[in-house]
Copies of this chain bind each other. A is one copy, B any other.
Amino acid sequence: MAKNVLPTISFAGLTELLGYQIRQAQTASFRDLAGPFRKLGITPGEFSLLTIIDANMDIRQLDLVRIYGLDKSTLSVAVNRLSDRGMIRRRRLPQDRRNQGLSLTDAGQDLLQTATRIVNDQEDRMKMVISPQELDVLMGALRRIAATLRER
């Protein structure tokens, strides 16, 4: 009946593409984080948002917009979500009251701490399959690739 025959799929040149392998690694990373992060109610993007806000007292939304290359409306929505959940505080800055300084609440700091442990655990697992030398190459090469593609 030929029922359990798994078809052999050709990926054509796909697997030889650097862009393809970068994407595969990236989706594997997100899916790996998805489970533990869902319990916390955050996404990888929100983790990085919390990290940057934590490290930059009273950062403005427009600075975050520049960092992420997102539209200001998109960022406003993202900040809303974390703010509604009591993780982020917004305050008008006295120097220029058009700006809103962002900071983490105590609950936000707790959340960040837990999320950071999850991320570090993933990092450890990734580093188990590559050598320290390979790690250096990887970090440098990925940075240069991103930079050159952003140039135009």
List residues of chain A with CB under 8 Å of any chain B CB.
7, 9-14, 16-29, 31-33, 44, 48, 51-52, 54-56, 59-60, 63, 67, 69, 119, 122-123, 125-130, 134-135, 137-150
* Contact (Cβ within 8 A) A63 B7: yes
Distance A146 CA – B26 CA, assembled complex (angstroms): 8
Copy number in the complex reads 2
Distance A28 CA – B20 CA, assembled complex (angstroms): 13
Distance A137 CA – B33 CA, assembled complex (angstroms): 24
CB nearest neighbor in B for A125: B148
* Contact (Cβ within 8 A) B18 A22: no
* Contact (Cβ within 8 A) B55 A126: no
Given contact pairs A9-B59, A123-B17, A146 touches B24 in the complex (Cβ within 8 A): yes
Contacts of A31 in B (CB 8 A): 69, 149-150
Q: Which of A7, A119, A138, A145: most chain B Cβ within 10 A?
A: A145
- Besides A31-B149, A129-B145, 13 other A-B contacts (C-beta < 8 A): A7-B60, A10-B56, A12-B51, A14-B48, A14-B52, A18-B127, A19-B29, A21-B146, A22-B22, A22-B26, A28-B146, A31-B150, A137-B141
Given contact pairs A7-B63, A51-B12, A52-B11, A148 touches B126 in the complex (Cβ within 8 A): yes
Given contact pairs A19-B119, A25-B22, A59-B9, A149 touches B137 in the complex (Cβ within 8 A): no
